[in-house]
Structure 1
Amino acid sequence: MSTTVEFLLGSLALASSILGNDSSLPTVDLGYQIHRAISLDETFNTYNFTNIPYAEPPLGPLRFKAPIPPRGRKSEIQDGSIGKICPQANTKWNGIGSLFAAAYATDRLPFNYTQAEETLASSPPRIMDPRVTEDCLVLDVLVPKTVFDEQSKSKGAPVLVWIYGGGYALGDKTMFGSPHELMAATQQGENQGAIWVAMNYRLGAFGFLSGPTLQETGTANAGLHDQRLALEWVQENIHKFGGDPDNVTLMGISAGGGSVMHQITAYGGLKPALFRQAITQSSAFVPNPGTQLQEDAFNNFLSLLNVSSLEEARALDSAALLQIQSSETPTAHLSLNCLIWRVLPWCQLILQGSYSKGISILSSHMSHEGIFFINPRAIDDETLLRQRHRIPHI
């Protein structure tokens, strides 16, 4: 999905619900700030609390590290009116994959790879979404008005926490549009409805650098730690919106579905899970390429920045890192170098029994869901297919 489309979807989702921000809209005291709902959607009777920070801005010394909770307290009431998304990584498979998937779906094969590259080369340059910022660790809470207004009369509403997909390189909390139809479905009959939470998490080089050298002063897979901190935020704060922290369902698609599995296997299951149910849709599994490739990608990233250490990279202005992140380089898609909490990927951890127990899981997949990521030149070449996608001979 292009940055322009993502921006339009996010803008439309917000614009369709805003009736105006005024003092009549409710506030929630989070301790570190008072946050006011930005709108009440009268069609779905839902308050929108948007762009709530759940972490300190991951800047300077906090860059490439696990996030920490917000510090201090803001004196003015916040309304989240400034949209934020994390820096996006430009990947070649995004453009080629979109063209190939469209050709495959409409039976326009064989695919002309050379022509596709020429089409992409002649396309206008990508325009950076104005919402892009490193200070992007925010989340949205959508809550039915009846749930919020009558929270003292019940034990709390169920909570749905959404993790977006995008190959661990692209995406934001609003990229799939508004969840209002889903929320309306939870309000049928005598049910007051569920609360929706969606968080941003760091992507590409900002969220998924790894390797032994990085881990000396940084945190591998910081994006997964972002997700974990957002889940901790839900446990600590969702009751203030009328939600039940003991009835949380974590859900996601593609890289979001994979992230759900990473959270289930986080710390080998030695720490308690922060949700009771999970819905995984087309869970993305990334092979573990080994320590040396992780280290090579990390060193490549430093060379692209023209620095020699992680500390020097932390000292750079955001603009320098944003330029490298958005450029189409082998380092752009750094999710291929994940350690995924431990050395083993989540599928092996599950086979070993190293995961959080007692979680109800609903898993779903789509037919042909990998077409977007397949090298089109390998579609009829099994040797190239196995070589490029690390498929073992069985």
Structure 2
Amino acid sequence: PEQSEDCLLLNVQVPHNPASSSLPVFVEIHGGGYTAGNAEAVPGDALVHRANGTMIFVGIQYRLGLLGFLASAEVRDNGILNAGLVDQRMALEWVQRHISAFGGDPDRVTIAGESAGGGSVSYQLMAYGGAGVAPFRAAIPELPWWQPLKNDTLSQTNYERILHNTSCTDLECLRRIPSDQIITLTQNSIGNSYPDAAGNFGQYATGDFVFGPVVDGSFIKGLPTAEFKAGRFYHVPILTNHESAEGDSFTNLNETEAEFPGDLQRIFNTPSKDFLATLLNDLYPRNEYASVGKQRSAIFGNLYVCCPTLAIASSASQWGNNQSAIFKFNSSADGGGHGTIGAYVYSADINGPYPNATLAAILQSYYISFTKYLDPNPGRLEGAPFFPSYSDAQQILQVSDADIVVGADADRGAKCYFYEANPYTTRN
């Protein structure tokens, strides 16, 4: 199915011939914009096979869309904000309590996720400001989807429009609506939750899925960039990444000059004239892009995914107890579209097919080695390039169809620093 929220079920994949009775565990949180997806879409067969008896894979599920991320004053008072993230945390705590029954070691759990799954991993790192003991020892936030967090006003407006569209007047009424109608409500909200210049709702912010994590003062105490920068996260080893064309999948590449200003108003939170002038004249000048769509794609991709990897890697290198155990790679392989890396790492068929079987073997070996040793190097495929620590001059691996080379992190520059300096407008 395209969507499953049966949070009482999770997938546990164990090797036929385990190398020991207490194996490291790789827990995957699926993506899907916090509104779709399921654990079955991210199978661990290939990873478990390549690990050759030395790793267990777990796939978890959580409430999505309106069910998992509805936010309003009434939900705050009479429900649970960020219910989807709380579901994930409960699943991770279940793994801590029970994975030993499957031959797993609860003290050697790595959490991973791609896109909204990577965003979810980020929020699990930030959970409760990093207080207490994390139910994992390492994290792999892949393509971390830091969709701008809606403020209270936007969340309340969306909630009231949902009530209006159902003829409900309160949260209790919404709870009685059948799940198939809830799914329809979620999809309708995604498509028309933004007003036009005249204030009439019905606009779609391409690439924005409306529902997602919000600052609740408890599970999420603040915006992610600021929380990471302040060290309010679990200081564990981290491996993160992003693709080279993150924004393309979430952009109308045929967007016109006339459509662009309204689009920017939906991407950012009430951007000022000065903000837009710097954005469009200094950082993303039109003459540097083949089209308005490509210009918009770069703005979007950096905001939602690329700059978050910088925030994670740079902060973890600064605050981590083991600062050398931070790793980052960027990929342009197979076009570098959002989610492309997943095709190399996750497969129900141990033999692929992969876009590039050699690259798949290398990337899988990095992930497995990181899970086992908190370092992608000791168990990497023979002949695979050495993966430098990010704390070593902020070096990363640059992955392409042709090769894998060590290079500087291009995200360290004015574009990401500008977003970091404007949290009210970027909201992430």
TM-score (norm 2): 0.55
In 1: Cα distance, 2:191 partner to 2:262 partner: 21
Partner of 1:195: 56
Aligned pair partner of 1:170 in 22, 28, 36: 36
Question: Shift in Å at residue 324 of structure 1?
Answer: 2.3
Question: Shift in Å at residue 383 of structure 1?
Answer: 3.9
Q: Deviations over 1:83-104 (max 9, x none)?
A: x822xxxxxxxxxxxxxxxxxx
Q: Mean Cα displacement is larger for which, 158-167 or 208-217? A: 208-217
Q: Mean Cα displacement is larger for which, 334-343 or 244-253? A: 334-343
The residue type equivalent to 1:144 in the other structure is P
Partner of 1:70: none
Aligned pair partner of 1:184 in 49, 52, 61: 49
The residue type equivalent to 1:313 in the other structure is L
Give the 5 Å matches for 1:73-152. Answer: 85-86=4-5, 135-147=6-18
Instruction: Please state if 1:335 is matched with 2:197.
Output: no
Aligned pair partner of 1:161 in 5, 14, 27: 27
Q: Deviations over 1:243-302 (max 9, x none)?
A: 000000100101000100000000111132111111111100121231111111111122
**Against the structure 1 CA distance between its residues 336 and 322, is the aligned structure 2 distance closer, same or farther, given a 3 Å change threshold?**
closer
Instruction: Please state if 1:231 is matched with 2:128.
Output: no
Give the 5 Å matches for 1:56-71. Answer: none
Q: How many residues align?
A: 254
Supply the RMSD in Å over aligned alpha carbons.
Answer: 2.4
Instruction: Please state if 1:387 is matched with 2:253.
Output: no
Question: Shift in Å at residue 336 of structure 1?
Answer: 4.9
Question: Shift in Å at residue 337 of structure 1?
Answer: 6.3
Partner of 2:67: 206
Aligned pair partner of 1:268 in 126, 129, 136: 129
Aligned pair partner of 1:279 in 140, 145, 150: 140
In 1: Cα distance, 2:33 partner to 2:158 partner: 17
Q: Mean Cα displacement is larger for which, 298-307 or 255-264? A: 298-307
Q: Deviations over 1:139-166 (max 9, x none)?
A: 100011223xx86xx4x10000001111
Gaps of 5+ in 1: 7-83, 87-134
- Aligned-pair identity (%): 34
Q: What SS class does the counterpart of residue 248 from structure 1 fall into? A: strand
| Higher RCO (CA < 8 A, seq sep 6+) | 1
Instruction: Please state if 1:367 is matched with 2:286.
Output: no
- Is the contact between residue 205 and residue 334 of structure 1 (CA under 8 Å) also seen in structure 2? no
- Is the contact between residue 129 and residue 221 of structure 2 (CA under 8 Å) also seen in structure 1? no
In 2: Cα distance, 1:320 partner to 1:355 partner: 37
In 1: Cα distance, 2:252 partner to 2:132 partner: 39
Q: Deviations over 1:312-333 (max 9, x none)?
A: 2123333442442354643693
In 1: Cα distance, 2:112 partner to 2:256 partner: 31
**Against the structure 1 CA distance between its residues 338 and 374, is the aligned structure 2 distance closer, same or farther, given a 3 Å change threshold?**
farther
Question: Shift in Å at residue 208 of structure 1?
Answer: 0.6
Q: Deviations over 1:171-194 (max 9, x none)?
A: 000113x3211111111xxxx321
Partner of 1:349: 227
The residue type equivalent to 2:47 in the other structure is L
Gaps of 5+ in 2: 194-207, 279-428
In 1: Cα distance, 2:266 partner to 2:114 partner: 24
- Is the contact between residue 208 and residue 337 of structure 1 (CA under 8 Å) also seen in structure 2? yes
In 1: Cα distance, 2:35 partner to 2:136 partner: 25
In 2: Cα distance, 1:174 partner to 1:362 partner: 23
Q: What SS class does the counterpart of residue 170 from structure 1 fall into? A: coil
